[in-house]
Structure 1
């Protein structure tokens, strides 16, 4: 398994977290992989064989080969059919809204083909250019040219939404909306409307995902294996609160998470 990340151009660094590639040779018996929420929106291009996304225990769809994965608030399973080769762009929670005119809430918990989000011909040309590129460097140049052109045609994101995201990220998801708004509590309803429109989920839901990320990183890097300690380091009220949120977003208990073959891919991303 070869997973690599790349830094974005300075002009995009406030909106794009990174570019990443994943390559995995075809396996005789591919394992389903559980994908868990990370608070980000991603644009992905499948360059290898198709990938299944399970919609139930036994039913699945094939993921679009050029798509945007919206905010997820529940885990889901994917399974490669053969050789995995993916190029993707990981946006900060408030980042992707700067490049599109649609409501971000329409992307939640699903994969949306690029041609639904952008002009059909434009999306097709972008996909062809990415597929035909000779390496990751060239793909990054192509996508950055595309994104910067889009950015120049859009207004910047509502400042109050960005301030909320920054506060949630800097406090590992624990900042309350009342604390963030301080003297501007009258703007709370406006914030929540704009947040769902531009981010896809509520501030509370995103805060829970960000806090879980903190706990996952401690757990995966084995800095501490005591669940009570991890809960307090991640600023949960107690261990029970931590386990409840963990199970809500991953579908399993923390102790089941480590060593679970279905979690290999999610573990790789979180490390």
Structure 2
């Protein structure tokens, strides 16, 4: 089975929201069509919001040995090793992938002070509770996506995000291959100021974010490219094969070779 096939994806209709939210997604299938095995989540440079209808998912942070059974949650950007596992027979998920600074448009709390898995109802209170009630009344996928867009638009905050947006753009243009000092210089700021902005609005340091951006490119090439691991390491400017192996395994818990073998079977939240 094509692992991407069950997902329905839509881009935001609102132009400004489209600069914050990458996409909405919806999945409705059964465990028998997939698997009940835990699936590792490759760290990506984005925020993910997810609501699990009816039967929750077990989300485990292997880096700190913590698990949570969740119906609705937001995951932060981090290099920690996370896995998800369905707890019931059905898998029905409504969610959204946000740009790395997306969550900062909906709360003024410092993102780095939040837990690795954010309790959406605890963070947003009645807004989240009422949202859940409304989506259960929806009759179509389009209505579900419209409700997600409505709750986002109704709760957007006005914030100065120019520095962090420009920083993210520069990092993406360089594929993560830029030093923090060079990034600060091009932005006309100090390393300390840049680090404070990243911690506050993204939830990790610039250095950690750079590692995740490079890993995203590596994961894409491991899945789609016929190139050797040596070539992939070289193209992504790792010092040598040992550094490449150490970095990938340090973040994902898997060697590049092991990850390459497993990626085709990944199903949840990873497209």
**TM tier, shorter chain?**
0.7 to 0.9
| Contact 1:247–1:253 (8 Å) recurs in 2 | yes
| Contact 2:230–2:241 (8 Å) recurs in 1 | yes
Partner of 1:238: 240
TM-score, scaled relative to structure 2: 0.88
Please give the alpha-carbon distance, in whole angstroms, between the structure 2 residues aligned to 1:155 and 1:197. Answer: 15
Report deviation, 1:178. Answer: 2.2
Report deviation, 1:249. Answer: 1.4
| Contact 2:41–2:84 (8 Å) recurs in 1 | yes
* 1:217/1:241 CA distance change after superposition, 3 Å: same
Give the length in aligned residue pairs.
Answer: 263
Report deviation, 1:56. Answer: 5.5
Partner of 2:49: 43
Report deviation, 1:129. Answer: 1.1
1:23 aligns with 2:6: no
Report deviation, 1:23. Answer: 2.9
Q: Deviations over 1:56-109 (max 9, x none)?
A: 59974312x12211123112222112211101111111122111122111335x
Please give the alpha-carbon distance, in whole angstroms, between the structure 1 residues aligned to 2:167 and 2:21. Answer: 17
Greater displacement, 167-176 / 48-57? 48-57
Any stretches of 5+ residues in structure 2 without a counterpart? none
Q: How does 1:160-239 map to 2 (within 5 A)?
A: 160-182=163-185, 187-221=190-224, 223-239=225-241
Please give the alpha-carbon distance, in whole angstroms, between the structure 2 residues aligned to 1:263 and 1:70. Answer: 23
Any stretches of 5+ residues in structure 1 without a counterpart? none
Please give the alpha-carbon distance, in whole angstroms, between the structure 1 residues aligned to 2:67 and 2:205. Answer: 28
| Contact 2:11–2:24 (8 Å) recurs in 1 | yes
> Of 230, 253, 261, which aligns to 1:259?
261
* 1:157/1:42 CA distance change after superposition, 3 Å: farther
Report deviation, 1:150. Answer: 1.8
* 1:116/1:250 CA distance change after superposition, 3 Å: same
| Contact 2:61–2:81 (8 Å) recurs in 1 | no
Q: Deviations over 1:233-267 (max 9, x none)?
A: 2222222222111101110101112333896236x
Partner of 2:110: 103
Please give the alpha-carbon distance, in whole angstroms, between the structure 1 residues aligned to 2:207 and 2:66. Answer: 31
State the secondary structure of the residue aligned to 2:261. Answer: coil
Report deviation, 1:203. Answer: 0.7
State the secondary structure of the residue aligned to 1:182. Answer: helix
1:269 aligns with 2:258: no
Please give the alpha-carbon distance, in whole angstroms, between the structure 2 residues aligned to 1:59 and 1:105. Answer: 18
TM-score, scaled relative to structure 1: 0.88
Report deviation, 1:185. Answer: 5.9
> Of 100, 106, 113, which aligns to 2:119?
113
> Of 142, 150, 164, which aligns to 2:147?
142
State the secondary structure of the residue aligned to 2:131. Answer: helix
| Contact 2:45–2:77 (8 Å) recurs in 1 | yes
Question: Cα RMSD (Å) of the superposition?
Answer: 2.4
State the secondary structure of the residue aligned to 2:18. Answer: coil
Please give the alpha-carbon distance, in whole angstroms, between the structure 1 residues aligned to 2:175 and 2:24. Answer: 22
Partner of 1:4: 8
Please give the alpha-carbon distance, in whole angstroms, between the structure 1 residues aligned to 2:195 and 2:204. Answer: 9
Q: Deviations over 1:199-229 (max 9, x none)?
A: 00001101100011111101101x2241111
